[in-house]
């Protein structure tokens, strides 16, 4: 049964605002939500997609605004070599993500790898689960983020175009395997989300996939505020729990998303 436009906008905003930051595929949950609401993917693509992504991007920028201002000053004014290096690596990672994402997207059009989502998420979920059982203590700092990290994260983030694959889940799993603690992994994941979301918004804008309406603005507001609240809760949760528990919880969410895909 088809729901009203305002109800749909609010629901999609809530779904986007929550699942964008969890290690599960927000795109997959959005698709199922659209179906339950009696809408088509075309309705989402033209009426809501641009605004939902813009909303969550603005939520992370708002929450990390102080960090971003400090980073900007370090890079532009102070010319801090360490910050400039990390910024360059973020750009490299984003470029690689967009490149491989485009390739995977073209392959998806001939439907050769639609089954990959469950396998990829399952493998990374198990790897993260194994990390959660380990007692590693010698973690690297964010300042140690290097070219190899950038290349790996960039490649696997590109896989997020595959149905059922979570960009956040893969990015965090890779960074954990690269010996960064999970608190820094989530922060880096949020930073990496900004340029990719911006690229997605620009692409949708250039391709004419923007419909300005009362409902679309409602979806923007909904995804922004829910995203802001969800991110705040996650950051506070990460401050309260120890490394191993957070790794295991993240692994269970990733593996749970695999089970969800098998059932639905």
Could you report the per-residue pLDDT of 126-135, keeping only the tens digit for each? 988 988 888 7
Mean pLDDT score of the chain, rounded to an integer?
84
Backbone φ and ψ for 80, nearest 5 degrees, come out as -70, 120
Has residue 1 got a pLDDT over 70?
no
Summarised one tens digit per residue, pLDDT across range 46-98 is: 678 889 999 999 999 999 999 999 988 888 888 888 788 888 888 888 899 98
Has residue 12 got a pLDDT over 70?
yes
Kindly report the pTM of this predicted structure: 0.86
Has residue 3 got a pLDDT over 80?
no
Q: Sorting pLDDT into bands at 50, 70 and 90, what band is 200? A: confident
pLDDT value for 109:
59
| CA-angle at 41, arms to 38 and 46, nearest 5° | 115
């Amino acid at each position: 049964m088809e729901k009203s436009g305002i109800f749909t906008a609010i629901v999609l905003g809530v779904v986007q605002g929550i699942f964008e930051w969890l290690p599960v595929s927000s795109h997959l949950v959005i698709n199922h939500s659209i179906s339950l609401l009696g809408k088509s993917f075309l309705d989402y693509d033209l009426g809501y997609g641009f605004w939902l992504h813009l909303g969550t991007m603005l939520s992370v920028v708002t929450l990390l605004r102080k960090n971003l201002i400090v980073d900007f000053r370090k890079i532009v004014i102070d010319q801090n070599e360490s910050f400039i290096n990390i910024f360059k690596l973020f750009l490299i990672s984003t470029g690689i993500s967009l490149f491989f994402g485009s390739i995977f997207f073209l392959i998806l059009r001939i439907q050769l790898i639609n089954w990959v989502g469950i396998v990829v998420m399952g493998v990374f979920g198990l790897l993260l689960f194994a990390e959660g059982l380990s007692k590693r203590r010698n973690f690297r700092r964010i300042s140690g983020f290097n070219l190899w990290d950038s290349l790996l994260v960039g490649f696997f983030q590109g896989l997020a175009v595959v149905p059922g694959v979570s960009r956040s889940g893969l990015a965090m799993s890779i960074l954990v395997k690269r010996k960064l603690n999970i608190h820094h992994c989530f922060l880096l994941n949020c930073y990496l989300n900004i340029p990719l979301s911006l690229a997605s918004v620009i692409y949708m804008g250039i391709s004419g996939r923007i419909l300005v309406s009362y409902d679309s603005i409602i979806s923007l507001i909904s995804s922004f505020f829910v995203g802001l609240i969800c991110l705040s809760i996650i950051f506070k949760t990460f401050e309260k729990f120890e490394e191993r528990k957070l790794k295991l919880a993240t692994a269970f969410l990733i593996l749970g998303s695999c089970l969800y895909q098998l059932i639905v």
